[in-house]
Structure 1
Amino acid sequence: MSAKLADQDTEKLIKDTAKRLFFGEGRFNATTQEIADAAGVNRTLINYYFRSRDKLFQIVFDDAQLNEQQLTEQIVFSDLPFKEKIARHLDVFLEQAKQYPYLEIYMVTQMNQGCIWKDHEKMSLLLDKFYLEIGLEMEKGTIDRMRPEQFLLNFISLLSFPLSMRPLLQETMGITTEHYDTLLEERKEIILRTLFKQ
C-alpha cells in the first residue's frame, strides 16, 4: 500500500471513529485522546491530519450536513411519485437514525452555536420544487390543503422530533433502546397515513 493510500485510510478511520462517537454514542465531548484510543491510533495523528479537535469536529459536522443535503436532493429531484419520495426519505433517515441515533441532536446543537453550512441557492431550488409538488398533490386531493410550509413542518416534525428527543423520551417513557428502535421502525407507515389521505 502506498503512503498516500495509507494516509487516506488513516484519515478516514479517524473521521469515521469521530462520527461513531459523536453521532452513534452521543459522546459530543469526546477528547482527542478518546477518539485516538477508539480509532487505535496515536493522538498526534489527529493533530497531523486535522490540526485540532475543533477542526475535526467541524469537518465531521460539515460532512454530515453535506451528506444530508445530497440525500435530500437525490430524492426531491428524482422522478419518483411524490408519496414515494416521502416514503424514500423516511427510509433513508430512519435507517440513518439506527446507525447514528444522536445525529439530529448534534446538528441542532451545532446550529445553535452558529456552526451552520448551507448552500442557500441549492436549498432554495430544492424547496421550490418540493413546494410545487406539494401544491400539485393538494390539487389532486391526496393531501389536505394548507400552506406548503405547513406540510413540510408536519413532515419534519413527525420524523425529526422522535429522533432529536430520543434520549429524553426513552428515559421518560422508561423503554429500552431496542423497544425505541421498534417504535421508530413503525414510524414510516404512521407518518404516511398521517400526511396522506390515500
Structure 2
Amino acid sequence: MSQEIKKDDTEALIRKTAKKLFFGEGKFNATTQEIADAAGVNRTLINYYFRSRDNLFNLVFEEALLKEKEKSDAIMKSEMTFRDRLTEFIENSMSSAMQYPFLEIYIVTQMNQGCAYKTPEDMQKTMEKLDSELKEEIEQGNISPISTEQFILNLASLLSFPTCMRPLFQKTMEMSNETYERLLKERKDVILSTIFKN
C-alpha cells in the first residue's frame, strides 16, 4: 500500500513540476532531464510513468485545459448574480494566469501551427446565456451598451494581456516581481470598475 502511495506521489510531483516548467516558466522545450532535475527524481522515472516527454507534456496540457473548463462551468452554472459570477471568474482567471502565464500563449501558438483546438460542446448554450444576461444588465443600466462578442474580447484582453506581456511591461516600467504581482492582484477591481458603471 505504501509503495502505491509513493508511486502516486512521485507521479503527481512529476506532473506538477512539468506543468510549472511548461506553463509557469514558458519552458515548452524542457527536456526530460530538466524536468527530472526540477522534480528531484531520476530521469528514468519519467519514462517509466509517462513513456516519453511528449506524452507527459500532452497529459499536463489536457489536464490544465480540463481544470480551467471545470472552473468556468461551475461559475456559469451557479445561481449567483451576473456581477458575482463575473467577479469569481475574474478572480479564478487571474489566479490561473499568474500561476501559469504561458498556458494561453501555448494554446494560441498551437492553433497558429494548425493544431485543432477542441471547442467545448456546450459553448453555444454558454454564449446564449451570456448574451441574455448581458442584455439584461445593459437594460438595467449597469453596463454600457456593447455586443456580446465585444464584451468577450474586452474581458479576455483585460485578463490576459497583463500576464502575457509581463516580461515586456516589467522591463520597460522597471518593476520588481513584487510590484508587478501587486498590480496583477489589483486587476479584479480595475476590470470590474471598467465593465460596470457603479
Same fold (TM over 0.5): yes
Question: Is the contact between residue 97 and residue 160 of structure 2 (CA under 8 Å) also seen in structure 1?
Answer: no
1:70 counterpart letter in structure 2: E
CA RMSD of aligned residues (A): 1.8
The reply to whether residue 79 of structure 1 matches residue 79 of structure 2 is: yes
Question: Is the contact between residue 62 and residue 117 of structure 1 (CA under 8 Å) also seen in structure 2?
Answer: no
Q: Specify the alignment match of 1:158 in structure 2.
A: 158
Question: Is the contact between residue 17 and residue 35 of structure 1 (CA under 8 Å) also seen in structure 2?
Answer: yes
Question: Partners of 2:49 and 2:123 in 1: how far apart?
Answer: 31
* CA gap 1:101/1:36 in 2 versus in 1, 3 angstroms: same
Question: Partners of 1:17 and 1:29 in 2: how far apart?
Answer: 14
Superposed counterparts of 1:19-168, under 5 Å: 19-168=19-168
1:15 counterpart letter in structure 2: R
Question: Partners of 1:115 and 1:61 in 2: how far apart?
Answer: 14
* CA gap 1:12/1:107 in 2 versus in 1, 3 angstroms: same
Report how far residue 131 of structure 1 moved. 1.8
Q: How does the TM-score come out when normalised to structure 2?
A: 0.90
Q: Specify the alignment match of 2:8 in structure 1.
A: 8
Question: Is the contact between residue 97 and residue 163 of structure 2 (CA under 8 Å) also seen in structure 1?
Answer: yes
> Percent identity at matched positions?
55
Question: Is the contact between residue 170 and residue 180 of structure 1 (CA under 8 Å) also seen in structure 2?
Answer: yes
Q: Which moved more, 1:144-153 or 1:22-31?
A: 22-31
Q: How does the TM-score come out when normalised to structure 1?
A: 0.90
Report how far residue 78 of structure 1 moved. 0.8
Tell me which stretches of 4 or more aligned residues in structure 1 moved more than 6 Å. Answer: none
1:59 counterpart letter in structure 2: L
- Tell me the SS of whatever aligns to 2:78: coil
Unaligned runs of 5+ in 2: none
Unaligned runs of 5+ in 1: none
Question: Partners of 2:116 and 2:14 in 1: how far apart?
Answer: 22
